Amino acid sequence: MEQSNEEFFHDFRQELLAGAEANGSFQLDEFMETVANELVETGFTEGFELCHFRAQRGMRVDGYWFNDEGVLDLFIADFESRDELASLSKTEVDAAFKRVANFFDASINRGLASELEVTSPEYSLARQISDRRNAVRQINLILFSERTLSSRIRELPETEVAGIPTTHHIWDISRLHRQRSSRTHKEPLDLDFRLMFGKGIACLPAHLGTDAYQSYLMVMPAEVLASLYEKFGARLLEQNVRTFLQARGNVNQGIRATILHEPGMFFAYNNGITATAQSVETEVTDSGLAIIGIVDLQIVNGGQTTASLFHTRKRDKADLSQIFVQMKLSVIDSQQSEAVVPRISEYANTQNRVNAADFFSNHPFHVRMEGFSRRIWAPAQKGAQRETRWFYERARGQYADAQSKLTPAEQRRFKAEHPKHQMFTKTDLAKFENVWDDHPKWVNLGSQKNFARYAARIGSEWEKSPDEFNEFYFKRAVARGLIFHATERIVSAQPWYNGGYRANTVAYTLALLAAITKNRKESVDFLGVWNAQKVDDVLENAIAIVSKVVNDDIIDPPAGISNISEWCKKEACWTRIQAHVEALAKRLPVEFYAQLVLLDEQAAIERTAKQTQRVDNGIEAQRKVLAIPAAEWSRIHQLLIEKALLTAKEDGILKTAMQLPAKLPSEKQCIVLLNILEMARTEGLGVGNS
């Protein structure tokens, strides 16, 4: 039975209170970061930084994000930790947007930064706005509310603030509930071409009436694509494509050169775009069939083409009127989208392999981490009787989906075994790992860009040695997550903490702690943290000492740099912080060093875990091979022989599988057989999933 808004509000409030307590944060901070994380995950915004500022002169702001394309998101909160779900009026909405707009206007036109404390987040934001005044092309004002807005207020008109085009967005409890409840776990992007561009887009059906899904071939005007990207940005791109663009530059120089110098040849030179939609609306015109509306358009290949068209039009004032792009549009309903869309994206992006940047949710790394999280019990904490699990959400919404068909009693049991604060996502994992592996600058770039770099790094390492990712890796990652969240709580509780730059301080604190221990050829005892399921007083004390040094460093940037958030994203910032290693090492207590483990000891544990994983891989391969009957192996053998795709070794191993169960392939042979199976699928030989 579907939750009502009141029931969702109650659950959301309890989740918020528990999160604030666990993270040592104010409820307002927890509220803003919880909702912002939802929007970052679904591409509504690229990132979020807390920045609370209120002034008597009718100004307020609670967060912000500058993206690389001249868009500034300014966030404002409507939050009073209410006990009951209340309504939000249009008058209150207008007043909230007016306050955040006043902050922007004062930063641009009244030199607000000069009135603020230079080490405060609000100074950094006001100064950034002033410095970037000529680069900001669009402002998005975004209101987060714990109340529910009247359904009559669907959309607010676009306006201007300080002469800059401005959109208004409201994320109330009802909208957040709809997003979490939707099958795709994101708000669909609905387009009305007639309303936006005056007419539909000509198309050619590429499906038969008996086909399982509809598909169309379209010739998209480049002006339309650039305008869609200008309006919706990364929301237009499927998540894996967003990840790819985060890892690469936005403008492909070859595409740019064709736009500027050979626009008439663009259609011939460009590979085109692959896209999906949940549904389309068509009409018959004098010139043939046209698509006039699309529900949830997502570009799954061609994101770089789309972004390059927009950027070249904006930066080079390029004329796109003579440029057209071929588009293949597949209509996939919401029930199939979660399984089918990532596969279309993967296959459409074969020229940019998964291990480079795309790192899909169904990549074997994520599947293995998910498997560990469903199988491995975390030790019960002292005084507790029940063991729990850490739930790894490799695909968005899995935690909610796992409970959707359970009875209330079963849901209570599920939450007891998988507490919400023990659910972590791909972007969480990327933060936990990168700060310890000498990449704190990446973490400060924001969750999506950090994940893109983590994806490239781990994807490459997986190709070399997938056995490195084993039970020890999973337990270590959870331990790193425990330390990460403990550090957030510790920083928030320090007398010197003024409410800003916590994320930056946390990232560099843990990276500096890792550098100190690595210099001694030692490491924090991650398995000890895993076994205790908490950070002890000794480690907490060391974190407090290091975090003070880090905070003092980052709020005192070099001369000429006024923006602390931007400074924290630079390699020079990390280089300067590392200069504290030797001095800090002398300040940490002997109790801290007594708890460290030698890197050689940890390497021995890693080698054992790697060997165990190799054995587990062999056993799993055998299980999959034995599940396929001999007749099917014979059919696969015949098909591959006809195509001359088998080596002599593969031919011999396949002939062993053709004699099942009289002959049993070895574990190594089974791994080869699974590779053969994958090759057969790639060749389109009608081989089913094992």
Residue 491 has pLDDT above 90, yes or no: yes
Q: First and final CA of the chain: distance in angstroms? A: 34
In whole angstroms, give the CA distance from residue 352 to residue 360.
12
pLDDT at residue 452 in the model: 84
In whole angstroms, give the CA distance from residue 157 to residue 564.
34
Residue 487 has pLDDT above 90, yes or no: yes
Query: Out of 182-186, 218-222, 486-490, which region has the weakest mean confidence (pLDDT)?
Result: 182-186
One-letter identity of residue 120: S
Phi, psi of 36 (to 5 degrees): -60, -40
Tracing tokens 């999506």 back to the chain, one arrives at 448
Nearest partner of 615 among 568, 654, 670, 577, judged by Cα:
670
Residue 120 has pLDDT above 80, yes or no: yes
All residues at 6 or more sequence positions from 653 whose CB lies less than 8 Å from its CB, including other chains: 665, 669, 672, 673, 676
pLDDT at residue 685 in the model: 65
pLDDT top residue among 42 and 113: 113
Residue 248 has pLDDT above 60, yes or no: no
Query: Out of 16-25, 62-71, 458-467, which region has the weakest mean confidence (pLDDT)?
Result: 16-25
Residue 14 CB: number of other CB atoms within 10 A?
11
Residue 249 has pLDDT above 80, yes or no: no
Residue 13 has pLDDT above 80, yes or no: yes
What's the token pair of residue 391? 């739930």
Residue 349 has pLDDT above 60, yes or no: no
What's the token pair of residue 149? 């807005």
pLDDT at residue 395 in the model: 80
Residue 641 has pLDDT above 90, yes or no: no
pLDDT tier at 116, thresholds 50, 70, 90: very high
pLDDT tier at 394, thresholds 50, 70, 90: confident
pLDDT at residue 244 in the model: 56
Tracing tokens 């390029």 back to the chain, one arrives at 318
State the chain's mean pLDDT as an integer: 87
In whole angstroms, give the CA distance from residue 372 to residue 530.
14
* Tens-digit pLDDT profile for residues 555-603: 999 988 878 888 999 999 999 999 999 999 999 999 999 999 999 999 9
What's the token pair of residue 475? 């337990």
pLDDT at residue 494 in the model: 94
pLDDT at residue 154 in the model: 63
Residue 352 has pLDDT above 80, yes or no: no
pTM of the shown model:
0.79
Task: Find the mean pLDDT for residues 398-420.
Answer: 88
pLDDT at residue 356 in the model: 32
Task: Find the mean pLDDT for residues 608-621.
Answer: 84
Q: Identify the sign of the CA torsion 579, 585, 586, 587.
A: positive
Portion of the chain with pLDDT greater than 90, in percent: 52
Residue 42 has pLDDT above 90, yes or no: no
Residue 373 has pLDDT above 80, yes or no: yes
**Maximum separation of any 2 CA atoms in the chain, in Å:** 85
Concatenated DSSP letters for 455-509? HHHHHHHHHH-GGGSSHHHHHHHHHHHHHHHHHHHHHHTSTT--SS-HHHHHHHH
DSSP tag of 686 = -
* 363, 239 Cβ separation under 8 angstroms: no
* 167, 158 Cβ separation under 8 angstroms: yes
* Tens-digit pLDDT profile for residues 168-213: 999 999 999 988 877 566 777 889 999 999 999 999 998 876 566 7
Burial environment of residue 473 by CB neighbours within 10 A (0 to 12, 13 to 18, 19 or more)? buried
- Can you give the C-alpha Rg of the chain in angstroms? 27
In whole angstroms, give the CA distance from residue 574 to residue 441.
7
Q: Where does residue 91 fall: left (phi above 0), alpha (psi -120 to 50 degrees), or beta otherwise? A: alpha
Q: What are the b/e assignments for 221-243, b being 16+ CB within 10 Å?
A: bbbbbbbbbbbebbbbbbbbbbb
**SS3 (DSSP) at 45:** coil
pLDDT at residue 354 in the model: 36
pLDDT at residue 687 in the model: 59
Tracing tokens 């070399």 back to the chain, one arrives at 464
In whole angstroms, give the CA distance from residue 313 to residue 57.
39
Task: Find the mean pLDDT for residues 369-374.
Answer: 94
Residue 689 has pLDDT above 50, yes or no: no
pLDDT tier at 351, thresholds 50, 70, 90: very low
pLDDT top residue among 35 and 152: 35
Residue 353 has pLDDT above 60, yes or no: no
* Tens-digit pLDDT profile for residues 534-566: 999 999 999 999 999 999 999 999 988 878 888
pLDDT at residue 545 in the model: 97
Q: What are the b/e assignments for 371-407, b being 16+ CB within 10 Å?
A: ebbeeeebeeeeeeeeebbbbbbbbbbbbeebeeeee
pLDDT at residue 479 in the model: 97
Tracing tokens 């210099």 back to the chain, one arrives at 519
Tracing tokens 């600058």 back to the chain, one arrives at 441
DSSP tag of 2 = P
pLDDT at residue 81 in the model: 93
Which pairs with CB-CB distance under 8 Å and at least 24 residues apart come from 500-503?
A: 500/50, 500/51, 500/119, 500/120, 500/121, 500/124, 501/121, 501/551, 501/554, 501/555, 501/564, 501/565, 501/568, 502/50, 503/49, 503/50, 503/443, 503/444
Task: Find the mean pLDDT for residues 454-462.
Answer: 88
